Amino acid sequence: MPSKFINSLSILLLLLLLLCVQSQSRKALKHRNSSLRDPLVNLWPLPKEFTHGAQTLTVDPSLALQTLGAGGDSKIVVEAFERYKGLIFTHRGNDLLKYDVGKLTVVVASDGDALEFGVDEKYNLYIDGGIGRSIISGATIEANTVYGALRGLETFSQLCVFNYDTKTVEVDKAPWYIHDEPRFPFRGLLLDTSRHFLPLNVIKQVIQSMSYAKLNVLHWHIIDEQSFPLEVPSYPDLWKGAYTKWERYTVEDAQEVVNFAKNRGIHVMAEVDVPGHAESWGAGYPNLWPSPNCTEPLDVTKDFTFEVISGILTDMKRIFPFGLFHLGGDEVNTGCWSSTPHVKQWLEQHNMTTKDAYQYFVLRAQEMAISHNWIPVNWEETFNTFKEKLNPKTVVHNWLGPGVCPQAVAKGFRCIVSNQGVWYLDHLDIPWEGFYDSEPLEGIADSSQQELVLGGEVCMWGETADTSDVLQTIWPRAAAAAERMWSSREATAPGSINSTVLPRLHYFRCLLNHRGVPAAPVNNAYARQPPGGPGSCFAQ
């Protein structure tokens, strides 16, 4: 009884102190808007609001974790703290008699850890050594959910820097008061494992690196016309379409990816691209092909085709809990449908053109996904071809060029931006500035329509990327888009990005390198190239 009473008083006292600090920091924010454009603040992505001082604080290598609130002691938080502690304290240093920051307090209001679309990711971060205006000594992260706490831990880790002269980890420019939340709920990266198989540990490396830039959706383009590497228990011969028997993912592998991502606050959105991009399906079930000479699109005339799709979706629902599911629908060349006798006859019997059959196929697949309580996502060709017929729940995924999202939201559809001219990572000639200058809300002035833009996604298509170069191709350009999707529009449009943004991006690229992520130099004329000669990581 006494211990519970003391604990309650401690929590109450801390919350009162946090309210006091919040009040102080809000007042300070009004006078420190210029800090949003401070090129010397090495945080990526830039927080929504922050103030800092001029003190330097030392951080105890035995940094302790104190958890408070209903969800503070979540396994997700505790394990993340240990991960970040390992990233912060990578060097053996001096042992001081006293450190300014010896404890990190994490307060999480909610006791749930369901990772649902739109989950609250905002957090407040306070760091003070007790010498400044704060009445809290140490560091505190305050969040409504464990996922907000994860974002706060990332920011805290970026503020902790090893000083080689003093051989201590320090937080410069203290005290810090940060209030942060993402601009968009969907901040994605597409990873293609069909064109080249990526081992499980490489996928995990990609997910881990995504968390450093606060990206939160891995769009897993698992299968395509070239290979079908995923196990589907309902139709076990489908993965005969894998390149080899050593380049496959079991159900357990996929579940491991989802769980690994969840522990880092990252959703996994799977894609089954239909009716095109599906030639590999026929390696195990040739009846899915209209004929041996017409191997895609899938045969629209057979119930078996839709039975297989239903089986895939049923099995995938057990693996992928994310509320959005990608059904593809792009680049569907229906020419061989009209030249295959039994398909041509079926079209005539149903008084359909091939365009009608394409619509019929997409809409039927959408109904299946919706029956599993998924929100269907389709590439923009479906909207461009038959927008009036799409299910109103459809999320339109732009890729061909600008202008589609403004049209989609004007019709009441939600939209994801991935304009290939600026956000396709396999386009090696797009420099970091192209990724950074791309604005998801371009051409959308109405605020109610702007809310229909869920966010964006950079796409790592795999034709020329495999284990040997995929991470170098993703980073650091993906980070440029990540800040665009996280930080406020005002903060990411500060004038000359070469003086206000580039130094921070150099710093973040070096941070990735120090954390074991092989991010390529920022200033390459072509992405993923090695350095052209000797030089500092901070200037290449």
Which sequence positions are flagged as catalytic?
Answer: 331
- Backbone dihedral region for residue 301 (phi beyond 0: left; psi -120 to 50: alpha; all else: beta): alpha
Residues 6 or more apart in contact with residue 52 via CB below 8 angstroms = 35, 38, 41, 173, 174, 175, 176, 177
User: C-alpha distances in angstroms, 419 versus 298, 434, 471, 526?
Assistant: 27, 11, 21, 19
49 φ, ψ (degrees, to nearest 5): -140, 140
Contact 201, 221 (CB under 8 A): no
What token pair was written down for 446? 């109405």
What token pair was written down for 535? 């030089």
Contact 417, 423 (CB under 8 A): yes
What b/e readout covers 277-309, taking b as 16+ CB neighbours within 10 angstroms?
A: bbbbbbbbbeebbbeeebbbbbbbbbeebbebb
User: C-alpha distances in angstroms, 276 versus 279, 294, 295?
Assistant: 8, 11, 9
Residues in the chain: 540
3-state secondary structure of 355: helix
What token pair was written down for 445? 């002035």
**Distance in angstroms (rounded) separating the CA atoms of residues 465 and 462:** 5
Query: How many CA within 13 A on the CB side of residue 334?
Result: 21
- Can you spell out the DSSP letters for 215-262? --EEEEE---SS---B--TTSGGGGGGSSSTTS-B-HHHHHHHHHHHH
What b/e readout covers 325-351, taking b as 16+ CB neighbours within 10 angstroms?
A: bbbbbeebebebbeebeebeebbeeee
In the block, which residue shows the tokens 């005002």? 490
Contact 217, 191 (CB under 8 A): no
